[in-house]
Amino acid sequence: MRGATDVPTDMQRTYIATQDRHSQFYQALRVELNASGVEVVESPADATAIFTIHTDITRQRVLSVSARNVPTEYEVFYTVSYSVESDQKSLMDRRTQTKVQDYTWDETLVLGKEQEQQELRRAIVGDLVRVVMIQLSSL
């Protein structure tokens, strides 16, 4: 019996098709697939499955501003869209996940807040990868 993060045998050798191999989501997904026993290969020809990342976007937007028109609260969001196929058949139709988190901003603490924003993005990516791994384990 497979555990919560085990993936189907069809995915034992998986190629991740993406436009950005440096994105946080791609990097975290690759690590998690490897940790689950999946060999992430460098060529689709060597793969038993192809995990395609169609969309991989992270942004932030202002939620509120002070009386001096200075941002005081931001919202960070990360959206991924993906699908999986094996032997020309779909294992998972295209799905989209978005995770949103807000944080306060203090212009006097710029360095700490920048680090907080990066930590927040890493946490969001971790949540998205967990969702994807759970979905893969249910295939």
Q: What is the pLDDT of residue 109?
A: 57
The answer to whether residue 75 sits within a structural domain is yes
**What is the pLDDT tens value at each position of the chain, 139 positions in all?**
344 457 778 899 999 999 999 999 999 999 999 999 999 999 999 999 999 999 999 998 877 888 887 777 888 899 999 999 998 899 999 999 999 998 776 666 555 667 777 888 999 999 999 999 999 998 8
- Answer whether 58's CB lies under 8 Å from 76's CB: yes
The answer to whether residue 27 sits within a structural domain is yes
The answer to whether residue 2 sits within a structural domain is no
Which whole-number Å values give the CA distances from 69 to 47, 108, 109, 112, in the listed order?
52, 15, 17, 21
Count the domains in the chain: 1
**Which CATH number belongs to the domain containing residue 107 in this structure?**
3.30.160.150
The answer to whether residue 4 sits within a structural domain is no
Residue range(s) defining the domain that contains residue 97: 9-137
Q: What is the rounded distance in angstroms from the CA atom of residue 49 to the CA atom of residue 41? A: 10
